[in-house]
Amino acid sequence: MTHYPTHTPILLSPPHLSGEEKRFVDEAFRTNWIAPLGPNVDGFEREMSEHLGVAQGARLACCATSSGTAAIHLGLILLGVKAGDVVLCSDFTFVASANPIRQLGAEPVFVDSDETSWNMSPVALRRAIETLVAQGRHPRACIAVDLYGQGCDYPALQAICDDYDIPILEDAAESLGASVHGRACGTFGRMAALSFNGNKIITTSGGGMLVSTDASLVERARHLATQAREPAAHYEHVEAGFNYRMSNVLAGIGRGQLSVLADRVARRRAIFARYEASLARRPGVRFMPEPVWSRSTHWLTAATLDPAAAGCTRDELLAALSAQRIEARPTWKPMHMQPLFAGCRMFAHDPARRPVSQRLFEQGICLPSGSAMSDEDLARVAHTIESALSPARAAVA
Ligand X SMILES: *Cc1c(COP(=O)(O)O)cnc(C)c1O
Residues that bind ligand X (CB under 6 A): 67-69, 93-94, 96-97, 145, 171, 173-174, 195, 197, 208
Coil, strand or helix: which one is 166?
A: coil
- Shortest Å, Cβ 89 to ligand X: 10
Interatomic CA distance for residues 355 and 208, integer angstroms:
31
- Shortest Å, Cβ 302 to ligand X: 12
User: What dihedral angle (degrees, nearest 10) is formed by the CA atoms of 87, 141, 354, 281?
Assistant: -130
Interatomic CA distance for residues 317 and 237, integer angstroms:
55
Do 140 and 79 form a contact (C-beta atoms < 8 A)? yes
Entry field: residues in the chain: 397
- Shortest Å, Cβ 147 to ligand X: 7
Do 187 and 56 form a contact (C-beta atoms < 8 A)? yes
- Shortest Å, Cβ 169 to ligand X: 11
**Residues forming a β-bridge with 13:** none
Q: What Å distances lie between residue 102 and 55, 88, 105, 107, 108, CA to CA?
A: 35, 12, 5, 6, 7
Choice between 208 and 368, CB closer to ligand X: 208
Do 324 and 318 form a contact (C-beta atoms < 8 A)? no
| Residue closest to ligand X (Cβ) | 68
Choice between 145 and 302, CB closer to ligand X: 145
Choice between 81 and 145, CB closer to ligand X: 145
H or E stretch covering 257: helix 248-258
- Shortest Å, Cβ 180 to ligand X: 16
- Shortest Å, Cβ 148 to ligand X: 9
Choice between 93 and 113, CB closer to ligand X: 93
CB burial class (10 A; 0-12, 13-18, 19+) of residue 247? buried
Question: Please, which residues have CB within 8 angstroms of residue 57's CB and are 6 or more apart in sequence?
Answer: none
Q: What are phi and psi of 347, to 5 degrees?
A: -110, 115
- Shortest Å, Cβ 172 to ligand X: 8
- Shortest Å, Cβ 295 to ligand X: 18
Q: Starting from the edge strand earliest in sequence, which strands make up the sheet with 329-330, in order?
A: 285-287, 301-305, 364-367, 329-330
Choice between 91 and 171, CB closer to ligand X: 171
Interatomic CA distance for residues 275 and 256, integer angstroms:
29
Choice between 155 and 198, CB closer to ligand X: 198
- Shortest Å, Cβ 352 to ligand X: 28
